[in-house]
Structure 1
Amino acid sequence: MPTLYHHPLCPHSRFVRLVLSEYGIDATLIEERVSDRRPEFLALDAAGRTPVFVDDNGLVAPGANLIAEYIDETYGAERGAQRLLPQEMAARIETRRLVDWFNVKFFDEVTNWLITEKVYKRFAPPGGAPDMDVVRVARANIRHHMRYIGYLTNARNWLAGDRLTYADFAAAAHISCADYLGDAPWDEDEAAKHWYQRIKSRPAFRPLLSYRAPGLTPGRYYAELDF
């Protein structure tokens, strides 16, 4: 069985977990606190970041986007219409563009700041209170992204087009982290909210919604499918 080194509130880890669950791929989950800098983990990925995927043959794939490509090449083709990285070139480009948007731009502007200030600072040395100026900037930034999601889903069935793709799971992974922390502005865009309700209702989401961080209560709507 493959192994996934992850952190439960790392959005990139959540993206990979959602993809694995959607495809029905079982994996052993090992929770990794990257601040510990374990030599065994650094031997797998010198960058020391989650997620890291190790397949049955010991092949190591570090990083969410690289893991997604590996999963597509090894499992995607047999999925036909359910393939999460479409076969058509234009659709593949748009899917990759949006995966990059959320895993890089959204992360840099929103989730990295929220998770660092409200989670990692809480549990990793030297600790300390969150910088609320940083949190407020992230809360302002996420509203722009919610409107962009609404813009996309007003014109399309899913984010990248008519079909569910990696783009939807990448976006949902990041938003789920903000939602856990109570920082998802569901009053910002009704179309974005409706899209998230749809993807949140998929069976692949259930393991994420059942998670509870020790000492950190989830936001009011985190586990609710109809909110």
Structure 2
Amino acid sequence: MNRLYHVALSPFCRKVRLTLAEKKIEVELVEERYWEQSPEFLRRNPAGKVPVLRLDARVMSESQAICEYLDETVPGPTLIPRDAEGRYEVRRLCAWFDDKFNEEVTRKVMGERVWKKVMKKGYPDSKTVKEGLSAIKFHLDYMGWLLDQRRWLAGDVMTLADFAAAAHLSCLDYISDVDWNRSEAVKDWYAKIKSRPAFRSLLADQLPGLPPSPQYAELDF
């Protein structure tokens, strides 16, 4: 049985889940409390991070590497363009969200409001949360600028860049920390990607003791 060791509100795990679903690869989802660093988990990934995918006889880690491997080896919708310019733009935007957006927004908001509670590391730091909520405005404006010129973030077709962005924003939307009224273009884009069959399992996620915001699973917000 193929397995994905993951955490429900990890954007990196969600990016892999979206890719697997888009490629119609069935996997068993196994919640992994990676912060406990169990010896069994460290054998799967010595880096001690999720996601970890067991696919047939192969065990893989690092979300971007996993997604690119799946796109190259599994038939289905192409998520990374075959031309060099297209590949560059998709990889650039994946890095934008997985590095810059994650550092400036996701870690600060989700880290304080969700993971401190889950990991029992104390109370949220309001200053850090405010910094993250302020930074997201810039990112939404940048996405809006991209979408004013393109149908999807990296061009005229949906790509892994859209999954990377949606993975981060969906985590924040779970706790109602995205101002969807800031950009009509971004709101329309998210409604479009949120309605895809690949998104269904994400919308069913429930974190014990932390229910999702009322609009989280609503396709029309």
In the superposition, the TM-score normalised over structure 2's length comes to: 0.97
The residue that corresponds to 1:116 in the other structure is: 111
Query: What is the aligned counterpart of 1:133 among 122, 127, 137?
Result: 127
Does 1:35 find its partner at 2:29?
no
Give the number of equivalent residue pairs: 221
Paired residue secondary structure (1:25): coil
Counterpart of 2:85 (choices 77, 90, 114) is: 90
Q: Which amino acid aligns with 1:173?
A: A
Counterpart of 2:214 in structure 1 is 220
Of 149, 154, 157 in structure 1, the residue corresponding to residue 143 of structure 2 is 149
Equivalent residue letter for 1:165: T
Equivalent position amino acid for 2:213 in 1: G
Letter in 2 for 1:113: K
Pick from 94, 97, 101 the counterpart of residue 96 of structure 2: 101
Say if 1:113 and 1:135, in contact at 8 Å, map to a contact too.
yes
SS of the equivalent of 2:181 reads: coil
Shift of 1:220: 3.0
3-state DSSP of counterpart to 1:9: coil
In the alignment, structure 2 segments of 5+ residues that lack a partner are: none
Instruction: Report percent identity of matched pairs.
Output: 48
Which runs of 4 or more aligned residues in structure 1 lie more than 2 Å from their structure 2 counterparts after TM superposition? none
Cα distance, 1:73 vs structure 2: 2.0
Alpha-carbon distance, 1:211 to partner: 1.2
Aligned to 1:23: 23
> Aligned pair 1:177/2:176, yes or no?
no
Within 1, Cα distance between the matches of 2:68 and 2:184?
A: 32
| Cα distance in 2 between the residues matched to 1:91 and 1:177 | 27
Separation (CA, whole Å) in 1 of partners of 2:129 and 2:52? 28
- Answering whether residue 206 of structure 2 is matched by residue 206 of structure 1, we say no
SS state at 1:172 partner: helix
In 1, distance between residues paired with 2:39 and 2:142? Answer: 41
CA distance in structure 1 between the partners assigned to 2:131 and 2:182 by the alignment: 16
